[in-house]
Amino acid sequence: MRFALLSVMFSLSLAAQEKIIPKDTVIVSYHPSGMVKSVVQYKGHIRNGFSLMIGVDGDVIREENYRNGKFHGVVKTFMQSGEVLEETHYDDGIMSGVYKKYYESGSLQEESNYQNGIKEGAALWYYQNGNKVTEYNYINGSIEGEAKTYYLDGAVKSISQYRNNKREGIYREFYNTGQIKMEGNYLNGEKEGKWKIYDLEGKVTKKEKYKKGELR
């Protein structure tokens, strides 16, 4: 895919130098070494179409798409290895659609959704082995409803409830074997009321009481 982009890039570079596209122009800049540094497509004086940023070694660093001077479509940044680091979707300059971020290994690190520039729906983070780290749900940019965290092996570590970006309601934490480890309640993002801590056999080893996040 990147070789195809570079092929198009050099073709358009020649076209721009020969000035055969008076209205839809491609502007090419260069590194001191003479290697192409950037290729940007314009319509008049406004960015319109694709834009490529290239490193001194000839690898594509960033790939953008514009419409009437605003990001439109997919914007990608690349690692030195050539793997995609981030992939963002835009609609007339506003983040809209899937956002993805990757580890250097190429495995997925984060995946979320945007509507009109605001997070909406499921948002997931991953360990490098592909298992989930955390799982949230967004409504209009705020974390709402059930959220989960996980151990490296995929076992559930905690389950909590959110309202307007704050923990609200029952919270449970588990050992990686699945047994309950801790449970209690949150109110407006702070520990509230009675909390219990369990051992691996399910016996209560400690009881605590909180008021507005402070231990009583």
- The full DSSP string for 68-114 is TTEE-EEEEEE-TTS-EEEEEEEETTEEEEEEEEE-TTS-EEEEEEE
178: helix, strand or coil? coil
The residue to which tokens 């009109």 are assigned:
116
Across the range 17-31, mean pLDDT stands at 69
Instruction: Judge whether residue 13 has pLDDT over 90.
Output: no
Count Cα atoms within 13 angstroms, Cβ side, for 14.
5
pLDDT band for position 5 (cuts 50, 70, 90): very low
Contact 26, 42 (CB under 8 A): yes
Please answer whether residues 176 and 158 qualify as being in contact, where contact means their C-beta atoms are separated by less than 8 angstroms.
no
Please check whether residue 9 is in contact with residue 16, taking contact to mean a CB–CB distance below 8 angstroms: no
pTM of the model: 0.83
Q: What mean pLDDT comes out for the span 100-128?
A: 97
For position 23, what pLDDT does the model report?
Answer: 63
DSSP strand pairing (118-119 vs 121-126): unpaired
Over residues 183-194, mean pLDDT: 97
Residue type present at position 24 = D
Average pLDDT, the chain: 91
> What's the pLDDT at 1?
46
pLDDT confidence band for 28 (50 / 70 / 90): very high
The two three-digit tokens of residue 191, written as one number? 């520990």
CATH class of 55-215: alpha beta
Give the mean model confidence (pLDDT) for residues 153-163. 98
Average pLDDT over residues 186-202: 97
| Residue 88 near residue 72 (C-beta atoms within 8 A) | no
Residue 10 has pLDDT above 80, yes or no: no
Residue 44 pLDDT grade (very low, low, confident, very high; cuts 50, 70, 90): confident
Question: In this predicted structure, what is the pLDDT of residue 21?
Answer: 40
pLDDT at residue 205 above 60?
Answer: yes
Per-residue pLDDT, 111: 98
